[in-house]
A and B are shown apart, each in its own frame.
Chain A
């Protein structure tokens, strides 16, 4: 009987062990990711530069004579528009004026003498002609003829002398006029008064003007007139950027429109009107544009930079002369290449790679890529992916080659964020 019990027990044991299998579903080995299509496009990338903006036409006006400033045009202040030929200021005009008047009157008298001499000459000539005729008729003496000749010659010489004096008088007047103009500041261009370093009654001497540097010149020159309709910016670019800029490229200058950044900042932080820098703002938002006007082929050995000259193309650019601006110069567009969002790229040991979606197998495949230029939050790929393939963007940090993936489209119901470079 005991054996029966034992046998029953052992059978039941075996039966029980069979049912002990617990089926456990394998742990989810699928990573959720977002994917984006590889586009084909030309990527516009930009080179950063910075420099000081100066008006293209700027005139430094100075007196070359010494003197006291006695006249400044009324209402003349920095920022006022000036017309071409407008008098801005002048030094002690009376003496010079007197001198000029004297010269002019001398000229007048010289001209009068000139006319007199011309008349005398005419008379002498006529007389000579008459005597020549008389001589032919044997009506006059040779002596009278010689006298008439001599008087003609005399009159000629006198005329010449009078001419010369008139010329000298004219020259004198011209000289006085120049001296006169040297005591006047007259705007040669239509523009705006940039600097006015004069005061009525102050003594001015040409030696006070220092032209050794821009700054000193600006501080000492009596007046600066600029034409604010066109500015020029000289940017020093590092030698490595030489092949990236060509004459005629478009340039984005300074900031886009000032924008209020609505951030999720809580409690006590002021909101700032920030000046965004860079073409991460949509290119269309840049109001100030220019073109690369000239590129220097020579490298400054001290700074290892070369100069690029940019001229603004926007009419009436809102710049100040001497303003320090940031620039974004467009690189020449390459051909169409496959383009991926910047957020799709990962690097390992300085080698970039992306994860391409293998839709059939439902996995992500790691693919090394060769990078081209980047801009607008996008990266051009020279080798490694083709247009139309899909690459993983969000969630790429969790992937390894062959990892099973699931593509999701999360709803972002909350406020639209400022996207920045990673779109």
Chain B
């Protein structure tokens, strides 16, 4: 009896109510009353979770796969005029030396080109990005002091995944490249102002320039050196402020406006000629020796677009990237709205339209949508199961709790700055099937108390909490602890996957909290009346069936499994044998990190021999384009002449190579919807490869083809990477050719190439120093003169109106073999016309000044990890990367024995990453098992019992490995995740069984009886929980190609675990439990 306060009337009422309460309820502590018996807290929490979740859904950034914040950066240093070797020795190597001292560097690759150097640094995914970047910049600054003076300052750019475009548009409708370029630039200005848009890159654009085209024959006749012209233009093109006249009356700022803003002005520029033989020669006008024109710059690339089988139309490509943290979907919507508005308002010239080539938002919706709908299906199925297995009120309660749990999880995700992506949804689905068990157990317990034990609601709640809270918590804990090590997997893959276990664990925690403090109290609304009005237990048919099954199992177990210890032992041994078989099966299973899945994008690169001119490349591209155009499974394609396709971007090692050159062809294509074509995207891509290969083999000598279907992995690129390192580039090229041949002979690889590409013929001009000195021409002067004959360099800027950007003034030579454009001579005979000019204006044949040296060189000198290296790249087809590498390793080792000293090879790429990832996943598995064992030992206070429960794990693995082997599936990274998750899931079955067995044992049964009863009596929850999990995951297994391995592992594993546990766990219990354990051991 509680104390009375005489003055409080309401207390009297309360007392009366209290008196109406049962013993238990009255005795409950204030905390228990508040949290479990009153609905206040439950309502509050539910409301917060629900509302917060809905708001978060709106605010969360949606994306398909999580963007990885991988610390990586490129360091670019320019040194105009230096050749690749000098750049390597004097720029790349000093910087690399500083960088090797940094910690956490995963990969260091570099390429030294003519006139600039690119170094790419990739850190481990676990390194803090900001700290890593700071260290990097500091290292580069230190290295700067060792660089030659002529080299410019190195610039460090951080790479982020946001460098991939979220939206690619093609602008077409005019054959005039200039018009397209102009419209493109307008669009660029406008779009870059939208918040969230980082950069708009134009492909196929040609800027206008003012081109001075020297006429070589005029120069020779008049004896004028190109350097003289350059100097004349530069000296005249001055704009300089002088200062201010400080006076009231005439105060003004004075400046010299010498800059060219008028072509005629430039044409009239006088060029002085040195006196020759004592005769003064008059100056000539610039237009007497050169033509001066405003024109689009030399075309180096073109873009064309086709959609729905129409002919390729000249187009301009716009790729748009977003700023970090921006929401792709929102930004894309704004951009499309802006473009539509521009098109409608008629700002563009007649006939110009835009088409969407690649829509990142669409991709996100598609993939998110797929997974989302599978998730919804899972939820529906779970509801159905609930309604079938337990009474409708409880099913309703459980069913409603699930979405609220998810809402809560979304809230937490938003608060911690995560995004909503596929992995989050998968994590939720897995959690769904696990959480539902908690609800089932609690609600079943409640149901039991109310209907069978005829308790009041309050009593029922308290008893349920008392009886099931701890075991349920323990079960959840084991699952959570099994998942936690997944968060610790190393490498990029680990960082990539992290959000999945995080989400699942979060779901489990929130679900548990909601179940205990929300669902239970709030079920008062539905069940309260039932309970207090004396519920009648209507035994349903399901109850009858269950009772019969339980009886059958108990009998069967008693007779066949538990009859003697020896029998039990045989069962256990049998289980071990099966486990051994499954391990053997696993060794024969294919392993790959990320299996190929159907995806939208397709990139094709064709590399022609290095000396192919743009016109010829165009012809070949058009014919290849015809093949693509007629394919009904391609919705649209962009043809790039002079550039590689961004959809076929390779790995980091490959990205160091230039992707723009006149001999490149690229196709960026988008597949139609999967329902509209027959065949998965990567299968169709292989057919297409065959066709293109046939065309190229018969029509185009020396062409290299790459067909790259999109890969859904965090690190796209060539999976097979073999790095050959050593001191000499020539030897490396030979060795890489050997490796390539070996790879091809091994089979199952496509797109075999190295990151150097075909060698470019080079002509080196070595100055004859004595002759140069004799003629009074310095090497610098000679270089300057020769440059004008070969390239078109910028020598100044030309002022245009205020609205436009200033144009570049470029100085080049017009050779008869290519009239109208600046560029190097095409004809050998024209090379003879390149002469050097002395100070006196006389021209000297080059043969007197330089000796020619011919050779071939890679376009760049590539290095990796501080040494010269050439990487051989390839993609696997039909077999996994690990298989291919394993096959080829003996051959490679044999070859290596023949190589000169100092040369070796390393396997990188996916094989390296697979090793790392599976290695650390294996460690995660081991840690998970240990943690689970720990919890079990604490829970059951017995190592043996913990062992019994742990024995359910191998039973699960049997199912997983055998299933994969029998169905010929490859074991991928997600499957590995599934195995680790499985560990946590199956343990619960064992816990339930052993717990019940212990109860029976304490109740006085023999060990054998307890074993049989324990397994049988809990048949219903065991089967229900397993069934909900399995059936709940089936929609995901069917619907989603990417995540099928994950779900199949869990499904197979659970099937075998559940079925076998029913027999093996009692057997183990019999073998390992002593009767004496029934009581407390004496601890003296």
Alpha-carbon gap, A273 to B182, bound state (A) = 30
Residues 745-784 of B at the A interface (beta carbon under 8 Å): 745-750, 752, 758-759, 761, 771, 774
Q: Is A32 an interface residue (CB 8 A)?
A: yes
Q: Is B618 an interface residue (CB 8 A)?
A: yes
Q: Is B595 an interface residue (CB 8 A)?
A: no
| A13 lies within 8 A of B968 (CB) | no
Residues of chain B lying within 8 A (CB to CB) of residue A31: 701-702
| B827 lies within 8 A of A280 (CB) | yes
One of A89-97, A100-108, A170-178, A259-267 contacting the partner: A259-267
A-B contact count (CB 8 A): 204
Q: Separation in Å of the B605 CB from the closest CB of chain A? A: 15
| B761 lies within 8 A of A406 (CB) | no
One of A141-149, A348-356, A382-390 contacting the partner: A348-356
Interface centre among A278, A395, A396, A420, by most chain B C-beta atoms within 10 angstroms, is A278
Q: Is B818 an interface residue (CB 8 A)?
A: yes
Residues of chain A lying within 8 A (CB to CB) of residue B877: 24
Residues of chain B lying within 8 A (CB to CB) of residue A48: 829, 832-833, 845
| B747 lies within 8 A of A6 (CB) | no
| B702 lies within 8 A of A24 (CB) | no
Q: A215-B279, A267-B296 are in contact. Are A421 and B827 (CB under 8 A)?
A: yes
Q: Is B855 an interface residue (CB 8 A)?
A: yes
| B827 lies within 8 A of A13 (CB) | no
Q: Is A285 an interface residue (CB 8 A)?
A: no
| B295 lies within 8 A of A277 (CB) | no
Q: A267-B176, A420-B817 are in contact. Are A397 and B829 (CB under 8 A)?
A: no
| B829 lies within 8 A of A347 (CB) | no
Alpha-carbon gap, A408 to B33, bound state (A) = 90
Alpha-carbon gap, A20 to B821, bound state (A) = 60
Alpha-carbon gap, A241 to B832, bound state (A) = 13
| B279 lies within 8 A of A398 (CB) | no
Partner of B752, one of A24, A27, A32, A420: A27
Alpha-carbon gap, A368 to B877, bound state (A) = 38
| B747 lies within 8 A of A27 (CB) | yes
Q: A274-B816, A347-B854 are in contact. Are A395 and B178 (CB under 8 A)?
A: no
Q: Separation in Å of the B177 CB from the closest CB of chain A? A: 5
| A279 lies within 8 A of B609 (CB) | no
Partner of A326, one of B761, B820, B833, B968: B833
Q: Is A282 an interface residue (CB 8 A)?
A: no
Residues of chain A lying within 8 A (CB to CB) of residue B277: 213
Q: Separation in Å of the A384 CB from the closest CB of chain B? A: 16
Residues 14-48 of A at the B interface (beta carbon under 8 Å): 16-17, 20, 22, 24-34, 46, 48
Q: Separation in Å of the B994 CB from the closest CB of chain A? A: 23
| B827 lies within 8 A of A394 (CB) | no
Q: Is B391 an interface residue (CB 8 A)?
A: no
Q: Is B741 an interface residue (CB 8 A)?
A: yes
Alpha-carbon gap, A380 to B750, bound state (A) = 40
| CB closest residue in chain B, given A215 | B279
| B699 lies within 8 A of A408 (CB) | yes
| B747 lies within 8 A of A24 (CB) | yes
Residues 859-883 of B at the A interface (beta carbon under 8 Å): 877-879
| B581 lies within 8 A of A13 (CB) | yes
| B819 lies within 8 A of A27 (CB) | no
| B833 lies within 8 A of A20 (CB) | no
Q: Is B619 an interface residue (CB 8 A)?
A: yes
Residues of chain A lying within 8 A (CB to CB) of residue B176: 267-268
Convert A341-382 into 0s and 1s, putting 1 for each residue whose CB lies closer than 8 angstroms to a CB of B.
010001111101000000000000000000000100000000
| B581 lies within 8 A of A240 (CB) | no
Alpha-carbon gap, A20 to B880, bound state (A) = 13
Alpha-carbon gap, A265 to B823, bound state (A) = 14
Residues of chain B lying within 8 A (CB to CB) of residue A276: 816-817
Q: A22-B879, A216-B279, A400-B737 are in contact. Are A303 and B842 (CB under 8 A)?
A: yes
| A264 lies within 8 A of B615 (CB) | yes
Alpha-carbon gap, A342 to B827, bound state (A) = 12
Q: Separation in Å of the A283 CB from the closest CB of chain B? A: 12
Alpha-carbon gap, A410 to B699, bound state (A) = 4
| A280 lies within 8 A of B618 (CB) | no
Q: A263-B818, A277-B829, A420-B826 are in contact. Are A268 and B295 (CB under 8 A)?
A: yes
Q: A304-B774, A346-B761, A398-B704 are in contact. Are A27 and B847 (CB under 8 A)?
A: no
Q: Is A10 an interface residue (CB 8 A)?
A: yes
| B855 lies within 8 A of A270 (CB) | no
| A421 lies within 8 A of B855 (CB) | no
| B701 lies within 8 A of A395 (CB) | yes
Partner of A26, one of B278, B745, B814: B745
| A350 lies within 8 A of B744 (CB) | no
Alpha-carbon gap, A418 to B819, bound state (A) = 12
Residues of chain A lying within 8 A (CB to CB) of residue B856: 346-348
Interface centre among B177, B578, B845, B856, by most chain A C-beta atoms within 10 angstroms, is B845
| A395 lies within 8 A of B702 (CB) | yes
Sorting the interface of chain B by its residue count into under 10, 10 to 19, 20 to 34 or 35 or more gives 35 or more
| A304 lies within 8 A of B848 (CB) | yes
Residues of chain A lying within 8 A (CB to CB) of residue B830: 277-278
Residues 326-341 of A at the B interface (beta carbon under 8 Å): 326, 328
Convert A386-421 into 0s and 1s, putting 1 for each residue whose CB lies closer than 8 angstroms to a CB of B.
000000001111101000001010110010011011
Alpha-carbon gap, A342 to B982, bound state (A) = 68
| CB closest residue in chain A, given B852 | A350
Q: Separation in Å of the A242 CB from the closest CB of chain B? A: 12
Residues of chain B lying within 8 A (CB to CB) of residue A22: 878-879
| A26 lies within 8 A of B744 (CB) | yes
Partner of A238, one of B216, B578, B829, B848: B848
| A266 lies within 8 A of B175 (CB) | yes
Q: Is B999 an interface residue (CB 8 A)?
A: no
Interface centre among B176, B704, B855, by most chain A C-beta atoms within 10 angstroms, is B855
Q: Separation in Å of the A400 CB from the closest CB of chain B? A: 5
Residues of chain B lying within 8 A (CB to CB) of residue A394: 609, 701-702
Residues 73-124 of A at the B interface (beta carbon under 8 Å): none
| B759 lies within 8 A of A50 (CB) | no
One of B104-112, B155-163, B690-698 contacting the partner: B690-698
| A352 lies within 8 A of B854 (CB) | yes
Q: Is A9 an interface residue (CB 8 A)?
A: yes
| A277 lies within 8 A of B833 (CB) | yes
Q: Separation in Å of the A253 CB from the closest CB of chain B? A: 13
| B698 lies within 8 A of A410 (CB) | yes
Q: Separation in Å of the B494 CB from the closest CB of chain A? A: 30
Q: Is B588 an interface residue (CB 8 A)?
A: yes
Residues of chain B lying within 8 A (CB to CB) of residue A33: 701-702
Partner of B295, one of A25, A269, A347: A269
Q: Is A272 an interface residue (CB 8 A)?
A: yes
Residues of chain A lying within 8 A (CB to CB) of residue B828: 278, 280, 342, 374, 421
Q: A261-B819, A352-B854, A410-B701 are in contact. Are A25 and B609 (CB under 8 A)?
A: no
Q: Separation in Å of the B743 CB from the closest CB of chain A? A: 8
Q: A238-B848, A421-B829 are in contact. Are A263 and B697 (CB under 8 A)?
A: no
Residues of chain A lying within 8 A (CB to CB) of residue B83: none
Q: Separation in Å of the A363 CB from the closest CB of chain B? A: 12
Alpha-carbon gap, A308 to B447, bound state (A) = 118
Q: Separation in Å of the A418 CB from the closest CB of chain B? A: 8
13 further contact pairs, Cβ within 8 A, besides A277-B829, A408-B701, A421-B828 = A24-B747, A24-B748, A24-B878, A27-B752, A48-B829, A213-B279, A263-B818, A263-B819, A264-B618, A274-B817, A277-B833, A395-B609, A396-B609
Can you show 18 pairs from A to B with CB atoms below 8 A apart? A3-B574, A6-B578, A9-B578, A17-B588, A213-B278, A215-B279, A216-B279, A238-B844, A263-B615, A269-B295, A280-B827, A280-B828, A326-B833, A348-B730, A398-B702, A400-B734, A408-B697, A418-B817
List the 7 closest A-B pairs by CB distance, nearest first. A278-B829, A395-B701, A395-B702, A347-B854, A324-B221, A272-B819, A274-B816
Name A's B-contacting residues (CB within 8 A). 2-3, 6, 9-10, 13, 16-17, 20, 22, 24-34, 46, 48, 50, 213, 215-216, 238-241, 261, 263-272, 274-280, 303-304, 324, 326, 328, 342, 346-350, 352, 374, 394-398, 400, 406, 408, 410-411, 414, 417-418, 420-421
